[in-house]
Amino acid sequence: MKSGMRWSNALFLQLGVLAGVAMLAICVGATHVPVRVVGAALIGKAAGAAQTIVMDIRLPRVLLGIAIGGGLGLAGVLLQGMFRNPLVEPYTLGISGGAALGLCVCVTLKLANLLGAVAFPLCGFIGATGTAVLVYGVGARRGIMQIRDVVLVGVMVSFVCSSLVMLIMALARAEDLYGIVFWTMGSLDAPMPGLTAIALAVALGVLAVAYLLAVRLNALALGEDGALHLGVDVERTKRMLFVMAALLTGVCVSVAGIIGFVGLVVPHVARMLVGRDHRILLVSSFLCGSIFLIGCDILARTLVAPIELPIGVVTGIAGGALFVYLLRRT
């Protein structure tokens, strides 16, 4: 009973913080929009410019921040639970490197002229998915996923993809190089409104499915032998968790670029707030990831305004400092 009350209080607190951070993100920027004007814009009764700023620019950005931050935080807690390793994150498996390589190929072959604005996210997702399949194929033997091998293969694939990206960047023209560098540093400015809806739907859908596996994740914390004794189909569970984490990471990277440290730091913060039970940890990681990324986006847009910093730079600095603080404290 006490655990239920503590979990409820923690979730309500996180929801309140998320609502406050989201409202702040909508209000601040190059043009300040008062809270009352934001409320009027949300119901369609604001003036022309304010209505456009809120509904067409800042609200979609906040929704994308919820999807990307929550998705990366959720992917991080799934992988850390599956591998039983607190240093594993979505990008450890080389999925982000595959997405970056897919984007470089897209820019080099001028596929945007053929496919339009959807070319970048599509090629990024194909690269991320292909990398995930490669890592699983090499790391699994006779249908059994070897945890150590998957991590090692993922790290090596990530290095190879990074080297190929640098090779393409070294040979690319100046105008192509700018597009590659800007994308690899991350942004919440989605090129197409439909991509925000897709990212949000995928993140919430995976969260719902992952919640059904929360008890199995708790069992995996005892080790694979312990989970087997409790009646858990370990190999099937690992495959499902890997596919969900890869899907989340692929969608997030293909839509928003490479945004690091979210999947590594957020699960640790959530564990400090609600404990290690995945029945509450999954939801808490999703909310904490959304809060963290939206907060970093506010800093990216306001620290050196009117210049907007790449959000990947802010998450790297803030996430690294936060991780060192948590490490020293715990």
- Examine the domain organization and report whether 104 and 36 are in the same domain: no
Residue 274, class by beta-carbon neighbours within 10 Å (0-12 exposed, 13-18 middle, 19+ buried)?
buried
- Examine the domain organization and report whether 264 and 291 are in the same domain: yes
pLDDT, tens digit, for every residue of 253-303?
Answer: 888 888 888 988 999 999 988 988 999 999 999 999 999 999 999 999 888
Local confidence band at 330 (pLDDT 50, 70, 90 cut-offs): low
pTM of the model: 0.90
Task: Indicate whether 120 belongs to any domain.
Answer: yes
- What crossing angle do the helices spanning 278-302 and 59-83 adopt, rounded to 10°? 140
- Examine the domain organization and report whether 136 and 200 are in the same domain: yes
Task: Indicate whether 201 belongs to any domain.
Answer: yes
Query: Which residues face 144 on adjacent strands?
Result: 141
Phi/psi of residue 140, each to 5°? Answer: -100, 135
H-helix segments, the chain: 2-27, 35-42, 48-52, 59-83, 95-108, 112-115, 119-139, 147-171, 174-184, 193-212, 214-220, 224-229, 234-256, 262-274, 278-302, 311-329
- Examine the domain organization and report whether 241 and 282 are in the same domain: yes
> Residue 285: which of 222, 212, 210 has the closest Cα?
210
pLDDT, tens digit, for every residue of 62-83?
Answer: 999 999 999 999 999 999 998 8
Instruction: Assess whether pLDDT exceeds 70 at residue 245.
Output: yes
- Examine the domain organization and report whether 23 and 89 are in the same domain: no
Range of the domain at 47: 14-54
> Residue 118: which of 222, 22, 193, 225 has the closest Cα?
193
Task: Indicate whether 157 belongs to any domain.
Answer: yes
Tokens of 313: 């730079």
Task: Indicate whether 1 belongs to any domain.
Answer: no
- Examine the domain organization and report whether 35 and 180 are in the same domain: no
Task: Indicate whether 161 belongs to any domain.
Answer: yes
Q: Are 119 and 112 in contact (CB under 8 A)?
A: yes
For residue 203, give the CATH number of its domain.
Answer: 1.10.3470.10
End-to-end CA distance of the chain: 27
- Examine the domain organization and report whether 117 and 34 are in the same domain: no
- Examine the domain organization and report whether 49 and 175 are in the same domain: no
Instruction: Assess whether pLDDT exceeds 90 at residue 102.
Output: no
Q: Into how many domains does the chain fold?
A: 2
Tokens of 212: 């059904």
**Tell me, what amino acid is at 316?**
G
- What crossing angle do the helices spanning 95-108 and 234-256 adopt, rounded to 10°? 40
